[in-house]
Amino acid sequence: MRKVVKAAQSKKRRIIQQHTRPTAMKFIYSFSEGKADMKSILGGKGAVLADMTRIGLPVPPGFTVTTETCHFYHTQKKYPEGFWNDFDIYLKALEKKSGKGFGSETNPLLVSVRSGAAVSMPGMMDTILNLGLNDKTIQGLIKKTRNERFCYDAYRRFVNMFGNVVLGISHEKFEEAMDGVKKAAGAKLDTELGVKELKRLVELYKRLVEKETGEDFPTDPYTQLKLAVEAVFKSWNNQRAKTYRKIHNITGLLGTAVNIQSMVFGNMGETSGTGVAFTRNPSNGEKEFYGEFLMNAQGEDVVAGIRTPQKISELKKIMPRVYSQLLEIQKKLELHYKNMQDIEFTIEDGKLFILQSRNGKRTAQAAIKIAVDMVKEKLISQNEAALQVDPMQLNQLLHPAIPASHRGKILCKGLPASPGAAVGKVVFTPEDACKWTENAQKVILVRKETSPEDIQGMFTAQGILTSMGGMTSHAAVVCRGMGKPCVAGCAAIQVDTKKKVFICGEIVVREGDTITLNGSTGEIILGEVELMEPKMSNDFKLFMSWVDKIRKLRVRTNADTPHDAKVARDFGAEGIGLCRTEHMFFQEDRIPKMREMILAKDTAGRKRALEKLLPLQREDFIGIFTAMDGFPVTIRLLDPPLHEFLPTTHGQVENLAIAMGVTIDDVKRVADGLHEINPMLGHRGCRLAVTYPEIYEMQVRAIIEAAIAAHNIGVKVLPEIEVPIIGMAAELKLIRRLVEEIINRYQNEIKFTVKIGTMIELPRACLTADELAPYADFFSFGTNDLTQMTFGFSRDDVGKFLPAYLDKGLLERDPSETIDRKGVGELMKICVKLGRSVKPKLEIGICGEHGGEPLSEEFCHKIGMNYVSCSPYRVPIARLAAAQAQLKFPRKASTSSA
């Protein structure tokens, strides 16, 4: 035993050494060394900069500090040994390539310091431009450029960014100083400020730094650079970045890379500029060169919404040669990456530079259209198209819209930055958006412009309205990624965050007032407009037909009513994987009969009450069988404990006693008798049938009679009866015998097959699946219960501590949202293997909430399951996720075990 432990400890030490030994790491890659397939090490931005350099695009030179270095920094609380020596070597190489000197007082090299994770997280981490400026190097820059105004504009921007990002000083404090200088100069825009005012701003900013930090602004360029690198590394764990990763389920990354790049300047005058462009329209997917730019500006001005930019088509009039060059480059990039590209560019004194290209964020409507169009253009295959669309984005296609016939009062109009419609009460801060949402209020977040710090409020709001910014502003990009409606750059409104009002002409809209946003048209409507359900486009139908040809997993739905079943079938569901019979008993005309059954003193009394429920259940099942004509319908027999059907307040108890003709004490006595310390582990599911078999007897009769009735009117019925909370083969054997006895009563009328199976939701069921399989025609994983039983987490109480587990990294993801592969997943694999060792063609599905979650579905595909079942509105998501799972992990037979 000691030898085994010693060997394990030795292996662990080797693994740790591999992750901490600095000599095994390459910390830095120049843009000419990196490759496109190195995203995990260089980050998305670094890998693309290297790739664009390789294919000959005009990319300013630079180098990338790896994500592995960031990981080392965070885990070891220091830089790897030898890192700064390597850094100096690459910095000197950059000086040589650019022909400039970092810190030179005659020909200074200025650099940008940008983050770049392997997965795009726009605006969530930090950027610093113009680094290397101080009171001496600026003089060299002035002599070199002969443009004093540009130099001091770059200097004030640098102090502002460095002060905010590295030194942690609020951006608003710099803005206050800017507003004061503009007011004194009688200027509306920062471009109207002269050299004198810009010099004044630099001094004011430095004083602000000294006041806030107690120290002078750092003037040594090397010190500035080291502090900037550290700040970008630290920004990996800032709150907005963590929130973004949580919202978008981004896990498993090492950290952020840091890109050090020679500066090019868009703020050198009217022959310089900067912009963001997309190779196709990210809102609707149309094939058009789409974007915005600003002359005499730096990149942050466009996305921050400080000035309202011009449409990219206007650049053709101002700089036709540059525009023509940009058109050629955007075509080359889209052809190269076979995806719609989001391109950042800068024009320095008439010369074009490409600073970044990445797969562009787009709405679901745009994603579908772009994928379909690219297939038609023969740029990509149908399989590649299926991989281009994020399954979770399809949620956006189900967003309601504003009918053209609405009679609401249009208050004003902004830019249609992200499509869809939203109704909510106006709030003015992200904190209030979160607070009001927690109190079950739907809100619209109204801001002058949004910033990365607003991310949580943007996530909880129904939609976003900004008075500044454009179609590529932070608000627009983030909302398109989230699938939220956004109206941006609405210059007609004046937002006063302190007074919590916005003004449009003579109309004042206050906090708490209701407005409606139309993100597709840019209209802001006073009051609430009733929204209409969306319709699926022909492109969507074509795209989903490709998806269905690829996937092996079938997709069913969880539906308890004919309406839900119809909705799901319209979305492409191939049956019902879970029909919860208990939901039917809670309806107003049924709950008294259910309570009568519970209060009955003997079996005869319970049967009398159940006879009243039987025709109601039968009618429900007829409707569901009819809606699912030709597809299987899995009906779960009663699962929850009986106390859930009883009233809880004194008034309700009194009313029940009167209605039932019993005393209040009688009701209380029954309720006390049903009370359980832990009802989720108590008298529920199949255990009810062991003690009260008449309950399941009534339900099976209702199912069979409904199936017969539906069959007799021409419906093809495929009923599947599911027994919940099975932990032992003896239980399933007993309940199956009960169900079969009832079915046999109707043997002369049954012209269809009835399957009997079980829900797998207890760890013991997984571990003894080979014993259960002889009595089951199918297994269906109930992963909601299986997860809480495996972890020992009560899903009703887990909210008290789960956020801390996630914040402290004890769990990467909430296990109720995505399958925990190491624990729950391992049990599922064992279950599939054992079950099919007895019945090789045993049908196995999943009907928990995980059934509609793409990563969980990928796991279900890999372990050889037959189907997933999810809520009706998640069916399209599940269909696409199943196709992507097949493309990533091809399998032949749908019942093979992995």
Q: Annotated catalytic sites, by residue?
A: 474, 847
Token couple for 549: 């040809």
- The per-residue b/e assignment along 587-620, b for 16 or more CB within 10 angstroms, e otherwise, is eeebeebbbbbbbbeeeeebeebbeebbeebbeb
**What is the layout of strands, in order, in the sheet containing 421-427?**
409-413, 523-526, 514-518, 421-427, 443-447, 463-466, 486-488, 415-418
Phi (first) and psi of residue 348, to 5 degrees: -110, 110
Amino acid (one-letter) located at 505: G
**Residues 6 or more apart whose Cβ sits within 8 Å of residue 604:** none
Q: Which of 617, 679, 620 is nearest to 645 (CA)?
A: 679
> 348 - beta bridge partners?
351
Let me know: does 755 contact 720? Beta carbons within 8 Å.
yes
Which residues, 6+ apart, have CB-to-CB distance to 93 below 8 Å? Answer: 30, 63
Of 577, 590, 575, nearest in space to 620 by CA: 590
Residues in CB range of 297: below 8 A, 6 or more apart: 191, 266, 267, 273, 274, 307
Gap between the Cα atoms of 479 and 477, Å rounded: 6
Report the alpha-carbon distance of residue 882 to residue 555 in Å, rounded: 8
Integer angstrom CA distances of residue 524 from 365, 367, 412, 424, 471: 22, 26, 6, 12, 16
The answer to whether 433 and 442 are in contact (CB under 8 A) is: no
Pull the structure tokens for residue 204: 């004011």
Cβ contact 825:763 at 8 Å: no
Beta bridge partners of 720: 634, 755
Question: CA neighbours within 13 Å on the CB side: how many for 885?
Answer: 31
Q: Phi, psi (5° rounding) for residue 89? A: -65, -45
Placement of tokens 């279900």 in the chain: 860
Please classify residue 326 by burial: count the beta carbons closer than 10 Å to its beta carbon, then call 0-12 exposed, 13-18 middle and 19+ buried: buried
**Secondary structure string (H, E, C) spanning 768-823:** CHHHHHHHCCEEEECHHHHHHHHHCCCCCCHHHCHHHHHHCCCCCCCCCCCCCCCC
List CB contacts of 187: < 8 A, sequence separation 6 or more: 193, 197
Q: Which of 316, 598, 567, 304 is nearest to 448 (CA)?
A: 304
Which residues are CB-neighbours of 518 under 8 A, at least 6 positions away?
Answer: 402, 416, 421, 485, 487, 524, 525
Q: Tell me the Ramachandran region of residue 56: left when phi exceeds 0, alpha when psi lies from -120 to 50, beta otherwise.
A: left
Contact (CB, 8 A) for 412 and 493: yes
Query: How are beta strands 514-518 and 632-636 bridged, if at all?
Result: unpaired
Distance CA 212, CA 201 (A): 16
Nearest CA to 868 among 631, 564, 879?
879
Q: Identify the CA nearest to 462 among candidates 493, 488, 435, 433.
A: 433
Q: Locate the DSSP E strands across 351-420.
A: 351-359, 409-413, 415-418
